[in-house]
Amino acid sequence: MYYPEPISKLIDSFTKLPGIGPKTAVRLAFFVLNMNDDDVMDFAKSLVNAKRELTHCSNCGHITDQDPCAICQDTSRDSSVICVVQDPKDVIAMEKMKEFNGRYHVLHGAISPMDGIGPEDINVPDLINRLKDEAVEELILATNPNIEGEATAMYISRLVKPSGIKTSRIAHGLPVGGDLEYADEVTLSKALEGRRDL
Ligand SMILES: [Zn+2]
Protein backbone atom coordinates (compact mmCIF):
# COMPACT_ATOMS: atom_id res chain seq x y z
CA MET A 1 0.00 0.00 0.00
CA TYR A 2 1.27 3.49 -0.85
CA TYR A 3 1.56 6.19 1.78
CA PRO A 4 3.35 9.53 1.49
CA GLU A 5 6.74 9.18 3.16
CA PRO A 6 6.02 11.15 6.37
CA ILE A 7 3.07 8.87 7.08
CA SER A 8 4.92 5.65 6.35
CA LYS A 9 7.70 6.84 8.68
CA LEU A 10 5.14 7.50 11.40
CA ILE A 11 3.59 4.07 10.82
CA ASP A 12 7.06 2.49 11.08
CA SER A 13 7.65 4.28 14.39
CA PHE A 14 4.40 3.01 15.87
CA THR A 15 5.20 -0.53 14.69
CA LYS A 16 8.29 -0.44 16.94
CA LEU A 17 6.10 -0.17 20.05
CA PRO A 18 5.18 -3.39 21.89
CA GLY A 19 1.75 -4.80 21.13
CA ILE A 20 1.25 -2.59 18.06
CA GLY A 21 0.70 -4.54 14.85
CA PRO A 22 0.73 -3.05 11.32
CA LYS A 23 -3.02 -2.34 11.28
CA THR A 24 -3.01 -0.56 14.65
CA ALA A 25 0.07 1.41 13.54
CA VAL A 26 -1.81 2.70 10.50
CA ARG A 27 -4.80 3.60 12.64
CA LEU A 28 -2.63 5.47 15.18
CA ALA A 29 -0.71 7.31 12.45
CA PHE A 30 -3.92 8.59 10.88
CA PHE A 31 -5.25 9.46 14.31
CA VAL A 32 -2.18 11.65 14.90
CA LEU A 33 -2.80 13.43 11.58
CA ASN A 34 -6.21 14.43 12.86
CA MET A 35 -4.99 15.64 16.26
CA ASN A 36 -4.62 19.37 16.77
CA ASP A 37 -1.12 20.82 16.37
CA ASP A 38 -0.59 21.60 20.08
CA ASP A 39 -1.46 18.08 21.16
CA VAL A 40 0.92 16.62 18.59
CA MET A 41 3.71 18.94 19.77
CA ASP A 42 3.08 18.01 23.41
CA PHE A 43 3.13 14.34 22.51
CA ALA A 44 6.39 14.63 20.60
CA LYS A 45 7.97 16.70 23.42
CA SER A 46 6.93 14.15 26.05
CA LEU A 47 8.63 11.38 24.08
CA VAL A 48 11.86 13.32 23.65
CA ASN A 49 11.92 14.71 27.22
CA ALA A 50 11.20 11.33 28.84
CA LYS A 51 14.17 9.90 27.01
CA ARG A 52 16.43 12.91 27.58
CA GLU A 53 15.68 13.69 31.22
CA LEU A 54 15.38 10.22 32.66
CA THR A 55 18.41 8.22 33.63
CA HIS A 56 19.05 5.14 35.76
CA CYS A 57 19.85 5.65 39.45
CA SER A 58 23.55 4.87 39.87
CA ASN A 59 22.74 3.09 43.13
CA CYS A 60 19.63 1.00 42.50
CA GLY A 61 19.10 1.17 38.73
CA HIS A 62 15.57 2.58 38.94
CA ILE A 63 14.53 5.21 36.36
CA THR A 64 14.89 8.70 37.77
CA ASP A 65 15.32 12.35 36.84
CA GLN A 66 17.73 12.84 39.76
CA ASP A 67 20.67 10.70 40.79
CA PRO A 68 20.50 9.01 43.29
CA CYS A 69 16.74 8.47 42.89
CA ALA A 70 14.14 9.73 45.38
CA ILE A 71 13.80 6.26 46.95
CA CYS A 72 17.56 5.91 47.54
CA GLN A 73 17.67 9.45 48.98
CA ASP A 74 14.73 8.88 51.34
CA THR A 75 16.31 8.37 54.77
CA SER A 76 12.99 7.30 56.30
CA ARG A 77 13.14 4.06 54.33
CA ASP A 78 14.58 0.88 55.80
CA SER A 79 17.98 0.43 54.19
CA SER A 80 18.43 -3.05 55.69
CA VAL A 81 15.97 -4.62 53.22
CA ILE A 82 16.45 -4.57 49.45
CA CYS A 83 13.74 -5.81 47.12
CA VAL A 84 15.35 -7.10 43.92
CA VAL A 85 13.21 -6.73 40.79
CA GLN A 86 13.73 -7.15 37.05
CA ASP A 87 12.27 -3.92 35.76
CA PRO A 88 11.64 -0.30 36.83
CA LYS A 89 7.92 -0.97 36.24
CA ASP A 90 8.10 -3.55 39.04
CA VAL A 91 9.31 -0.84 41.45
CA ILE A 92 6.30 1.26 40.51
CA ALA A 93 3.97 -1.74 41.04
CA MET A 94 5.52 -2.34 44.49
CA GLU A 95 5.33 1.35 45.41
CA LYS A 96 1.62 1.49 44.47
CA MET A 97 1.03 -1.23 47.05
CA LYS A 98 2.39 1.15 49.75
CA GLU A 99 3.45 -1.71 52.05
CA PHE A 100 7.12 -2.01 51.34
CA ASN A 101 9.37 0.52 53.01
CA GLY A 102 12.78 -0.83 52.11
CA ARG A 103 14.89 -0.07 49.08
CA TYR A 104 15.10 -1.62 45.64
CA HIS A 105 17.57 -2.99 43.19
CA VAL A 106 16.56 -3.14 39.53
CA LEU A 107 18.32 -5.85 37.52
CA HIS A 108 17.11 -4.72 34.09
CA GLY A 109 16.53 -8.28 32.97
CA ALA A 110 16.92 -11.83 34.13
CA ILE A 111 19.49 -14.53 33.65
CA SER A 112 18.63 -16.54 30.55
CA PRO A 113 21.29 -18.97 29.29
CA MET A 114 19.10 -19.74 26.26
CA ASP A 115 19.39 -16.10 25.16
CA GLY A 116 23.02 -15.82 26.24
CA ILE A 117 22.19 -13.49 29.15
CA GLY A 118 24.41 -14.14 32.16
CA PRO A 119 24.67 -12.43 35.58
CA GLU A 120 27.23 -9.94 34.22
CA ASP A 121 24.76 -8.80 31.56
CA ILE A 122 22.19 -7.66 34.11
CA ASN A 123 22.66 -5.44 37.16
CA VAL A 124 24.00 -8.22 39.45
CA PRO A 125 27.59 -6.93 39.93
CA ASP A 126 26.21 -3.58 41.21
CA LEU A 127 23.99 -5.45 43.66
CA ILE A 128 26.97 -7.35 45.04
CA ASN A 129 28.85 -4.05 45.44
CA ARG A 130 25.90 -2.57 47.32
CA LEU A 131 25.92 -5.50 49.73
CA LYS A 132 29.54 -4.68 50.58
CA ASP A 133 28.85 -0.98 51.18
CA GLU A 134 25.37 -0.99 52.76
CA ALA A 135 24.26 -2.72 55.97
CA VAL A 136 21.78 -5.04 54.25
CA GLU A 137 20.13 -7.80 56.28
CA GLU A 138 17.58 -9.16 53.84
CA LEU A 139 17.20 -9.46 50.08
CA ILE A 140 13.66 -10.02 48.87
CA LEU A 141 13.97 -11.63 45.45
CA ALA A 142 10.93 -10.39 43.56
CA THR A 143 11.96 -11.44 40.07
CA ASN A 144 9.15 -12.66 37.81
CA PRO A 145 7.60 -16.08 38.55
CA ASN A 146 8.84 -17.71 35.35
CA ILE A 147 11.89 -19.82 34.45
CA GLU A 148 14.28 -16.89 33.99
CA GLY A 149 13.04 -15.11 37.11
CA GLU A 150 13.37 -18.26 39.22
CA ALA A 151 16.85 -18.97 37.85
CA THR A 152 17.91 -15.40 38.64
CA ALA A 153 16.54 -15.60 42.19
CA MET A 154 18.32 -18.93 42.80
CA TYR A 155 21.58 -17.58 41.38
CA ILE A 156 21.54 -14.47 43.59
CA SER A 157 20.48 -16.47 46.63
CA ARG A 158 23.43 -18.88 46.24
CA LEU A 159 25.83 -16.02 45.58
CA VAL A 160 24.76 -14.13 48.70
CA LYS A 161 24.35 -17.07 51.10
CA PRO A 162 28.00 -17.15 52.35
CA SER A 163 27.70 -13.50 53.49
CA GLY A 164 24.93 -14.43 55.95
CA ILE A 165 22.40 -12.04 54.38
CA LYS A 166 18.91 -13.52 54.50
CA THR A 167 17.30 -14.10 51.10
CA SER A 168 13.60 -14.65 50.57
CA ARG A 169 11.48 -15.22 47.52
CA ILE A 170 8.01 -13.86 46.89
CA ALA A 171 5.81 -16.58 45.46
CA HIS A 172 2.44 -16.95 47.13
CA GLY A 173 -0.47 -15.84 44.97
CA LEU A 174 1.53 -14.81 41.92
CA PRO A 175 0.56 -16.66 38.75
CA VAL A 176 3.43 -18.77 37.40
CA GLY A 177 4.66 -17.44 34.07
CA GLY A 178 3.30 -13.98 34.77
CA ASP A 179 4.94 -10.60 35.02
CA LEU A 180 5.23 -8.86 38.37
CA GLU A 181 4.06 -5.55 36.93
CA TYR A 182 0.69 -7.03 35.92
CA ALA A 183 -0.14 -8.38 39.38
CA ASP A 184 -2.83 -6.43 41.18
CA GLU A 185 -1.96 -4.76 44.47
CA VAL A 186 -3.69 -7.34 46.70
CA THR A 187 -1.94 -10.25 44.97
CA LEU A 188 1.39 -8.49 45.17
CA SER A 189 0.85 -7.65 48.82
CA LYS A 190 0.01 -11.31 49.61
CA ALA A 191 3.08 -12.38 47.65
CA LEU A 192 5.29 -10.14 49.76
CA GLU A 193 3.68 -11.30 53.01
CA GLY A 194 4.03 -14.94 52.06
CA ARG A 195 7.68 -14.77 51.03
CA ARG A 196 9.72 -17.78 51.98
CA ASP A 197 13.38 -18.06 52.93
CA LEU A 198 15.71 -19.33 50.25
ZN1 LIG B 1 17.95 4.55 43.50
pLDDT, tens digit, for every residue of 4-22? 999 999 999 999 999 999 9
**Domains detected in the chain:** 5-53 (1.10.8.420), 78-179+185-191 (3.40.1360.10)
Please give the pLDDT value at position 98. 86
- Mean pLDDT of all residues in 98-125: 94
Closest CA to 87 of 69, 66, 60: 60
| Angle between helices 185-193 and 88-97 in degrees, nearest 10 | 90
- List, in order, residues 6 or more apart from 91 with CB less than 8 Å away: 62, 71, 85, 104, 106
What is the rounded distance in angstroms from the CA atom of residue 46 to the CA atom of residue 61? 22
Contact criterion met (CB below 8 Å) for 132 and 60: no
Closest CA to 106 of 78, 77, 136, 142: 142
- CA–centroid distance, residue 100 to ligand 1 (Å): 15
The 10s digit of each residue's pLDDT in 34-67 is 999 999 999 999 999 989 999 999 999 999 999 9
What is the rounded distance in angstroms from the CA atom of residue 198 to the CA atom of residue 196? 6
- CA–centroid distance, residue 73 to ligand 1 (Å): 7
- CA–centroid distance, residue 57 to ligand 1 (Å): 5
Contact criterion met (CB below 8 Å) for 83 and 140: yes
Question: Considering the chain, what percentage of its residues have pLDDT values greater than 70?
Answer: 93
Q: What is the mean pLDDT of the chain?
A: 90
The 10s digit of each residue's pLDDT in 73-95 is 999 999 999 999 999 999 999 99
Band of pLDDT at residue 147, cut at 50, 70 and 90: confident
- CA–centroid distance, residue 167 to ligand 1 (Å): 20
Please give the pLDDT value at position 191. 72
pTM: 0.77
- CA–centroid distance, residue 124 to ligand 1 (Å): 15
